[in-house]
């Protein structure tokens, strides 16, 4: 619980006042991470910490490359000395690889590899089931909302469009894992 409390305080300090909508979203992502705890075992706290901190790269103090996933991971690594696994989950969440490719930031993203696919799947699930103001949403609807918000000329639109099949596959894998664990517990 120590890591989660630390990450929560950090994310709140960076997002709550200056980016309240982003903070509300991050709190829902965190809540979603807590629902996956039975399926993650000893990595549950790591995911919860990554979930609350996943969007700190939007904070002015963290902006570096303009790709919030890399910026958040760099802030965690360089400014606060966070666990490398936490930094990696933040760096690779959701459509990060596709955005990095669009922006020519593959080398910057590779600073945080290799990925842990099960944890990247989990953070992506949590992110895509959390709306922009903290509401619980359907992942397909969330992706449509992102595309509509950014528009076809934006890098996020292009990255999410390309990533969409894989993002939905990640969601499906997490749901399958969670259901299998719950069936064993029943």
pLDDT tens for 35-48 read 999 999 999 999 99
- Sequence-distant contacts of 163-168: CB under 8 A, at least 24 apart: 163/94, 163/95, 163/97, 163/98, 167/94, 167/95, 167/124, 167/128, 167/139, 167/143, 168/139, 168/140, 168/143
User: Quick one: pLDDT at residue 183?
Assistant: 87
DSSP 42: G
User: Quick one: pLDDT at residue 184?
Assistant: 85
Q: What is the pTM of this model?
A: 0.96
Low-confidence stretches of the chain (pLDDT beneath 50)? none
User: Quick one: pLDDT at residue 106?
Assistant: 98
Pairwise CA distance, residues 179 & 176, whole Å:
5
User: Quick one: pLDDT at residue 182?
Assistant: 82
Q: Where are the domains of the chain?
A: 2-185
């Amino acid at each position: 619980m120590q890591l989660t409390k630390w990450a929560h305080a950090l994310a709140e300090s960076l997002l709550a006042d200056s980016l309240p909508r982003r903070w509300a979203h991050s709190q829902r992502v965190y809540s979603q991470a807590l629902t996956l705890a039975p399926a993650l075992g000893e990595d549950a706290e790591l995911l919860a910490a990554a979930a609350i901190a996943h969007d700190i790269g939007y904070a002015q103090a963290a902006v570096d490359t303009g790709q919030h996933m890399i910026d958040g991971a760099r802030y965690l690594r360089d400014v606060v000395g966070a666990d490398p696994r936490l930094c990696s989950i933040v760096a690779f969440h959701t459509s990060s690889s596709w955005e990095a490719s669009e922006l020519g930031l593959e080398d910057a993203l590779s600073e945080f590899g290799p990925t842990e696919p099960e944890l990247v799947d989990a953070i992506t699930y949590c992110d895509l089931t959390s709306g922009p103001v903290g509401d619980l949403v359907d992942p397909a609807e969330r992706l449509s909302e992102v595309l509509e918000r950014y528009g076809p000329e934006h890098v996020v639109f292009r990255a999410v469009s390309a990533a969409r099949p894989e993002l939905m596959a990640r969601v499906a894998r997490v749901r399958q894992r969670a259901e299998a664990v719950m069936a064993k517990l029943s």
